[in-house]
Structure 1
Amino acid sequence: MPQSQIATIRKIREYAKEAHELQDDTMDLDPSSTEARLAQTVKELQTRVQEQQAALDKLKSQSNVDLDAAAHASEDPRQKLQQLIAVKDAYTRLKPTATFLPAPGSVLPALLAARTLQQNVRATKQNITSTQAQLTTKEATLRREEGNLHDANLLTQAMETRIERLRAQREDRSQKTPAQLARELIAAKRAQKKDYDTEMQRLGEAMNDFINDYLSGMLAAEELGGPVVGDMLDVEDDTLAVGFTKKGRAKSTKKPVSEKTRQRKIDQIWGKKAAAVEDEEEEPPTEAEAADAEMRQLIENLFATLVGPGGGKAYFQLERDSAASRFLVRAKIAQFHPRDAKKLRLIDFGRELDD
């Protein structure tokens, strides 16, 4: 290894050793002499200020120049040149003068250093707060942009897949005769209709189960003055037989209700059609069964109106304001006429797509 490199490494090691020694040294902060050193420093500064003030007063007394006027540049070029020459001469004379430094035991350097550190700490804290706010905003923007990028990538992928599928279909159709295309289209439509019929049957069965198991009891409770559909989920037949109070609470079931009174109430609310039975040996319908029949008949009438001559614009004329019609409106399945609450129609969700 060259001697120059060896000497450089040795100097680096010596500097590192001295730096560690200076770092390990404790600062002299003797509390007993702090006040005395501060007083001595203040006294030195006051003495220095008095000396500077005396020198300034002496300069004012010996000079006939207006210092206030000389402090500003003159508009006269010649006078301005004289001012610059005077300033240059002053700097030349002051250059060899020794700089004023505090005494070795003065605490002024420590105070100045402490003030500088305090200012730096305050500025750093302010910058940290500002940076944290900016970082939060940038992170939110980054997450939003990442979400937008993810959505754009998904859309791009879906569009590319769709384009490839359309290209393949076009190439496949270009190789087939019109008769083959017609047969395939008819087969596809038949398969689609079959799927729709199967799905409609499944949904119809699910709707029937829902009405029979859950909705009929709640509709009957609302018709009898009880809570609105959805507020009381489990409604028993005994509760419906007894009825509800004016406040919508179930009455006590201690006293049994006669079948005549119960059947008369059913006839008053749902009409005698609900009590009609095909076989005389069958028992009369309960409140839940009457509400079930009314809901099914209402849905059937609304569907018939929807597919009838008026299409989605025609309304079905209601015989009365029932819990079934109110439930369909609250569920966003049907809607009343804007000017007649006795007219109801289903909301045709596919009308815009068909148009």
Structure 2
Amino acid sequence: MHDANLITTAMANRIERLRAQKEAKSQKTPQEVAKDMIDAKQRQKKRYDEEEKKLAQAFEIFVDEQLAGMLAAEDLGGPVVGDMMDVDDDMLATGFTQQGRLKTSKQQISEPRRQRRLDEIWGAKATTEEGEHLTEIDAAGIEFRELIQKLFTSLAGSKSTDAYVALERESAASRFLIRAKIAQFHPKDARKLRLIDFGRELDD
């Protein structure tokens, strides 16, 4: 009975607020109502823009400080993303065994060989426009960001579920998105990838 009374009171208060809002709107001119609606939309857009900036900053920090190193390790034959945390440049320079474990020897590969390895895996992404060589972590981070951007652009520009992006190669970045259930391969072509549109029904 106590709960029923609380619910009844809450509903009565809600009805009264709605009635007051309706009466307030009825006393306004159409121009005033339109202005209120525009102001409300603008406030909503501003709030969404601020949230988007916060999410973008969090995404950049996550990629730079955590994900890029793990992606690079997997691309170099190391453990899959999530199995080894806190990957650094020295670990990547040392390399991994055929079983995907970090080599116990602290002897790092030569710089020319390391650069060839970078070029073979990441290609142009391993070098800046000024010709400066990047680390494996930097290259993996760039590749992941570019892939995410392509996937978002493809999905946003498509009115169908065929918003697939052709992959340059099967990378740790694409495999990570698949395992995280953020993206999916084309059912007939594993060289194509698209984001899962959570606003639509998932493919079987």
Q: Above 0.5 in TM-score?
A: yes
The one-letter code of the counterpart of 1:275 is A
Partner AA of 2:181 in structure 1: K
**Residues 181-260 of structure 1 correspond to what in structure 2 (within 5 A)?**
181-260=33-112
2:192 match: 343
**Matched positions, count:** 201
Secondary structure of the 1:274 match is: helix
Instruction: Quickly say closer, same or farther: Cα 1:338–1:153, change in 2 above 3 A.
Output: farther
Q: Deviations over 1:215-257 (max 9, x none)?
A: 0000011111111111101112111112111111011343231
Q: Is the 8 A contact 2:183 2:196 kept in 1?
A: yes
Paired position in structure 1 for 2:126: 275
**Distance apart, 1:157 and its partner CA:** 7.3
1:333·1:346 contact (CA, 8 Å) conserved in 2?
yes
Asked whether the 8 Å contact 2:94–2:106 carries over to 1, the reply is: no
Cα 1:197/1:242, change in 2 over 3 Å: same
C-alpha displacement at 1:313, in angstroms?
4.1
Change beyond 3 A, Cα 1:245–1:162: farther
CA shift in 2, pair 1:221/1:171, >3 Å: same
* 1:299 counterpart residue number: 148
Q: Secondary structure at the match of 2:36?
A: helix
Other-structure match for 2:167:
318
Secondary structure in 2 aligned to 1:263?
A: helix
Matches of 1:341 and 1:155 in 2, distance apart?
54
Contiguous gaps of at least 5 residues in structure 1: 1-148
| Aligned: 1:329 with 2:167 | no
Q: Is the 8 A contact 2:182 2:196 kept in 1?
A: yes
Structure 2 CA distance, aligned partners of 1:150 and 1:265? 72
Structure 1 residues 240 and 185: alpha-carbon distance in aligned structure 2, compared to 1, 3 A threshold: same
State the Cα distance separating 1:269 from its structure 2 match. Answer: 1.0
Does residue 176 in structure 1 map to residue 28 in structure 2? yes
- My pick for the range that moved more, 341-350 or 229-238, is 341-350
Q: Which of 152-161 and 219-228 deviates more? A: 152-161
Deviation at 1:306?
Answer: 1.2
Structure 1 residue matching 2:125: 3-state secondary structure: coil
Alignment of 1:84-123 (within 5 A): none
Q: State the structure with more CA Rg.
A: 1
Q: Using the alignment, how far apart are the partners of 1:276 and 1:154 within structure 2?
A: 66
Any conservation in 2 of the 1:239–1:253 contact (CA below 8 Å)? no
Alignment partners' CA distance in 2, 1:315 and 1:151: 52
Of the three residues 108, 118, 134, the one matched with 1:266 is 118
Does the Cα contact within 8 Å between 1:226 and 1:250 map onto a contact in 2?
yes
Runs of 5+ in structure 2 lacking a partner?
A: none
Report the AA paired with residue 309 of structure 1. Answer: S
Residues 243-288 of structure 1 deviation map (CA, whole Å, 9 limit, x = unaligned):
11111101134323111100111111111x11231324xx411111
C-alpha separation in 1, matches of 2:4 and 2:77: 54
* CA distance in 2: counterparts of 1:253 and 1:157, whole angstroms: 72
**TM-score, structure 1 normalization:** 0.52
**Distance change >3 Å, CA 173–CA 227, structure 1 → 2:** same
CA distance in 1, matches of 2:2, 2:182: 35
Q: Distance in 2 between matches of 1:341 and 1:153?
A: 59
* In structure 2, distance between residues paired with 1:235 and 1:349: 32
Q: Look up the SS of the partner of 1:332 in the other structure.
A: coil
Of all paired residues, the percent bearing the same amino acid is 60
Change (3 A) 1:330 1:168: farther
Q: Which has the higher helix share?
A: 1
**Which amino acid letter does the alignment assign opposite residue 340 of structure 1?**
D
